[in-house]
């Protein structure tokens, strides 16, 4: 297992060659799309790479009401004057930094219209309200992420958009990678962290249960943090894993049974 962690950078434990792929995409001016389930490390990966490359990072949590103006900017009233204020995408282009659109599929459709000129050889951002046309510097990078498991007919990333990005698929890490991550982030000892990761593997392998997704690494770290702080194991698992994963009594009961089988 390689550890590319450097002192002072946000911790990220690589599972493969994703760091090299990110650097190659950046050095060649290619936009990057990260695909994978919630809580598997996509955002932490981008934070790590931005710090590793020494670039400013502008992160946008996309949602139903996110519009192109939210990304580009708008005129705001300040001190009795109307002043243009850049949005995070515009700031990233001006600074030559990274703009990270988390769960881009959630944004309104007019957002993709703005992104398209930045994801081809033009690398330009047009600001209609000010008449500016910004050419992205070589250091600028557009990164987006989404969870394919949550896509439906109404919310789907169009092929015409997906094919403008190079893409890296993320998944939950192997136990050999996940256990050290849980230990480092929570301070929990190896034996108890290993048991939590084993429980996560059992939950992720289940089929036929009312679960949209398996337990995330993020939730494992929450549970481990509570255990390390002195909370009983069963209560930590209940509050950090069972309750967040499902509201259905039968599903919750099955999750408790799995935990009991692991912990005795």
pLDDT score, position 221? 96
Give the model's confidence band at 150: pLDDT under 50 very low, under 70 low, under 90 confident, else very high. Answer: low
Strands 73-78, 81-86: pairing is antiparallel
Examine the pLDDT at 27 and tell me if it is beyond 90.
Answer: yes
Percent of the chain past pLDDT 90, that is, above it, reads 71
Cβ neighbour number for residue 83 with a 10 Å cutoff: 9
Per-residue pLDDT of 52-65, as tens digits, reads: 999 999 999 999 89
Give the model's confidence band at 161: pLDDT under 50 very low, under 70 low, under 90 confident, else very high. Answer: confident
Give the model's confidence band at 208: pLDDT under 50 very low, under 70 low, under 90 confident, else very high. Answer: low
Residue 187's closest CA among 230, 240, 225, 235?
Answer: 225
pLDDT score, position 109? 83
Residue 58 per-residue DSSP state: E
Cβ neighbour number for residue 166 with a 10 Å cutoff: 14
Per-residue pLDDT of 103-112, as tens digits, reads: 998 888 888 8
Residue 22's closest CA among 61, 40, 48?
Answer: 48
Mean pLDDT, the chain, whole residue set = 90
Examine the pLDDT at 155 and tell me if it is beyond 80.
Answer: no
Structure tokens of 247? 């509201």
């Amino acid at each position: 297992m390689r550890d590319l962690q450097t002192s002072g950078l946000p911790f990220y434990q690589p599972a493969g060659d994703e760091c090299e792929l990110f650097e190659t995409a950046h050095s060649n001016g290619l936009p990057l799309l990260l695909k994978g389930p919630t809580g598997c490390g996509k955002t932490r990966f981008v934070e790590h790479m931005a710090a590793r490359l020494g670039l400013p990072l502008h992160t946008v949590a996309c949602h139903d009401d996110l519009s192109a103006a939210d990304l580009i900017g708008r005129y705001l009233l300040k001190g009795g004057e109307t002043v243009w204020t850049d949005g995070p995408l515009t700031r990233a282009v001006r600074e030559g930094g990274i703009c990270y659109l988390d769960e881009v599929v959630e944004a309104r459709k007019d957002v993709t219209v703005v992104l398209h000129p930045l994801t081809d050889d033009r690398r330009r951002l047009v600001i209609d309200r000010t008449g500016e046309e910004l050419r992205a510097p070589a250091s600028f990078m557009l990164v987006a992420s989404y969870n394919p498991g949550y896509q439906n007919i109404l919310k789907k990333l169009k092929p015409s958009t997906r094919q403008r990005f190079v893409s890296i698929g993320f998944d939950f890490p192997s136990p050999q990678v996940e256990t050290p991550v849980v230990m480092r982030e929570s301070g929990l000892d190896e034996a108890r962290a290993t048991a939590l990761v084993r429980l996560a593997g059992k939950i992720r392998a289940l089929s036929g249960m009312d679960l949209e997704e398996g337990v995330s690494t993020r939730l494992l770290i929450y549970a481990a943090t509570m255990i390390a702080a002195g909370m009983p194991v069963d209560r930590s698992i209940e509050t950090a894993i069972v309750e967040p994963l499902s509201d259905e009594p039968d599903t919750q009961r099955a999750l408790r049974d799995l935990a009991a089988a692991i912990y005795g």
